[in-house]
Structures are given as C-alpha cells and as structure tokens.
Amino acid sequence: MTEAFIPPAKPIIGDEERAAVDRVLRSGMIAQGPEVAAFEQEFAEHFKLGRACVAVNSGTSGLHLGLLSNGIGAGDEVIVPSFTFAATANSVALTGATPVFADIALDDFTLDPASVEASITERTKAIMPVHLYGHPAKMEQLCAIADKHGLLLFEDAAQAHGASLHGTPVGAFGAFAMFSLYPTKNMTSGEGGMVSCADETIARNVRLYRNQGMLQQYHNEVVGLNNRMTDIHAAIGRVQLTKVDAWTKTRQDNAAFLSANLEGVIVPAVAEGAVHVYHQYTVRVAEDRDGLAKALKEEYNIGSGMFYPVPNHRLKPFQSPVELPGTEQAARECLSLPVHPSLSQGDLERIVAAVTALAKAGA
C-alpha cells in the first residue's frame, strides 16, 4: 500500500489561531473574559441568528443548560431522535427528564414528524430535533406540531453551523439551539459550545447556570455549574469564524463531486430549500456496510465513519422498547466518507474509485 491515508476528518488550526492563543496567554487573563464576550457577539452576527448567544465549555453543556434554562426537569418528556450522538439524550436525562425516542426519515436522517406526533404524551414538554450531518431537520413541520400541542422546540445544531432552511439559519428556530465547537466539527474552539437563545430570559438563565448560578460574584440566584468557556478557547473560535464559510463552501463542492460520481451507494439528498453544510457526507450501503468500510481502510487506505451504528434507544442507559425501523436501517447502512476541506481532487477521485469498485463488487 503506497498511497497516503485519507483521514475521515481533519481539524485545521493555522498560525492565526496560534497567535490568538498566544495573545490571550500573554494578557494574563485566561478564564472567561472579553474574548468570550466578543466571540458570542461575533458568532450571533456571523450566522445571522438575530439573538443572543452564550458560550459554554462543550456542546453537551450547551444542551444541558439550554434545557435547564427552559425549565425542563424531572417528570418531563423531551422527544429526540435515537439516531444521533448520545449527548442529545444524555443532556435530557441529566436534567431528570426522560428522552423519548422518535424515528427518523431516511431521506435526510432527521426526525420524522409523523413519528414525533405519535410519541407525544401528556408529559411531553418539548421536541429536540438534530440537524444531523449538517442537514436541517424538517423544521416547518416540527414547528407546526410544537405549536399545535403547545410544546417547546429546541435544536441540537451541534453539526450544522451555517445550515439553513428556506433562508432561516438553523439555530434561529427553537427556544434555544446548541452548536458544538469540538475539533472535528465544521469549526472549533478546541472544546466548546454556543447556545443561541430565543429571548433574554433564556440567555440570562444559561449565563447563570454556566457560572454557579451567579451573574454578580457571590450573589448566587440558582444552583449552577462551572460550564464556562475560557478566553483561550474563545480566541481560537473567533479566528475560526473568519474561515468557516470558505471551509463550508469546500465541503459543499467536495460533496457535489462525490454525489455526481459515486455509484453503487445511496448518496445524501438535500431537501428543497435546505442548505446542507456537510459536517458529514453520509451514504447508505444496502449490503455489508461494515465489509465495505473495512476494505476501504485495508485495501485503499481511506478512513470512514459510522455515525451511529448503535441507536440511542438500544444503549445501556436508555434501553427503550420502541420500534424505530428507519433508525435501525440507518444504523445498519450509514457510512460517512471523507468530505473535509483538506481533501485534494486526487483524494476525491480515490474515494470515488474505491467506493464504487467495492460497492459494485458487493464489498
């Protein structure tokens, strides 16, 4: 095997990020401070959210605090997809509420509105779709269901910086939305999360919960946590904000090339009116997905990912008897191919040739 390994993801950190970190370290002020405040404002403006953003130390914290800030707690149910990273359901469970798993639609791997409506009980308080892989969830139908039943709507936008639906950016639909800033996401702050808040009361609550329940030192208003972002992380995030649009464009171009040329797999669809930002480029492999992924690595030196092979409703902490056929099929068939902005044209051609050859050979 002579060709270089193509990794499934590759965080990009440049001289500007290094200089920004150095600037903060030299300032002597490294915990939450002016860099965090500037990052919050710039993030809201950049993604045209038109609302307050509050930075925290991870996407998971962002979900947790967003839920707490909307009064979610013991006795409540929140409808979530099972086909997502466990952080979605974990954050609900950590508030004391119960995550209720609804099915996804296979066209875009996001919540199926019919399954959501069928999952509503008298304890349901909210619906929390995930904009999985960077494709917006079916927000128009989900907002209508939430309105009809008097439910809150939240957004897990961990993977969807810059995605939109009919011109509305994800992160501007729900009472709150969370963007993850983990290194493999479309932009990073090292670790971190950004909470977009529909109103000032929610934003204030998130600020309280992230800082031991205080806005003013030693005037604690509620029981809170330390989920603060540091100025070091915010400084990285501020630089990445200036680069994320170009990276997203490259992801979209890479995805267009893959979709135009791959054969033997089901390529991702984009809904009418949706802007997909391709955090992942996920195909469906009807026969022997695992064999294809193994051969891609061993025979062609190409990495890939399975997000997510075990649906949340079957994970040990959640074991739920619900039947979710779309979720089960996606978990069996999904395969995420490299789409990140560091791919060369040669890499893309290698991916197309290898996947097409393996798919046609039945892996």
Ligand X SMILES: Cc1ncc(COP(=O)(O)O)c(C=O)c1O
**Which residues of the chain form contacts with ligand X (CB under 6 A)?**
58-60, 84-85, 87-88, 130, 156, 158-159, 180, 182, 193
- Cβ proximity to ligand X: between 154 and 300 the closer is 154
CA 320, CA 309: separation in Å to the nearest integer? 16
Q: Write down the H helix ranges in 112-243.
A: 113-118, 139-149, 200-210, 231-241
- For residue 91, the minimal CB distance to ligand X (Å) is 8
Our CB check for ligand X shows the closer of 180 and 254 to be: 180
Q: Which is nearer to ligand X, 66 or 193 (CB)?
A: 193
- Cα atoms found within 13 Å of the Cα of residue 336, Cβ hemisphere only: 19
Q: How near is the Cβ of 131 to ligand X at its closest, in Å?
A: 8
Nearer to ligand X among residue 151 and residue 158 (C-beta): 158
Q: What's the closest the beta carbon of residue 169 comes to ligand X, in angstroms?
A: 17
Structural Rg of the chain based on CA atoms: 20
Closest residue by beta carbon to ligand X: 59
Contacts by residues 105-108 (CB-CB < 8 Å, ≥ 24 positions apart) = 105/138, 105/326, 106/284, 106/326, 106/329, 106/330, 107/269, 107/271, 108/132, 108/135, 108/137, 108/138, 108/268, 108/269, 108/270, 108/271, 108/274
For ligand X, which is the closer residue by CB, 39 or 300?
A: 39
- Least distance (Å) between residue 105 CB and ligand X: 17
Q: Closest approach of Cβ 236 to ligand X, in Å?
A: 14
- First-to-last alpha carbon distance for the chain, in angstroms, is 18
Residues whose CB is less than 8 angstroms from the CB of residue 353 and which lie 6 or more positions away in sequence, other chains included: none
Token reading at 24: 């903060």
The helix/strand/coil state of 359 is: helix
- Closer to ligand X by CB, 60 or 82: give it: 60
- To ligand X, the closest distance from the beta carbon of 215 in angstroms equals 24
Cis check: omega of the bond before 308, within 30 degrees of 0: yes
Q: Which is nearer to ligand X, 95 or 295 (CB)?
A: 95
Calculate helix-pair angle for 15-27, 231-241, nearest 10 degrees.
Answer: 150
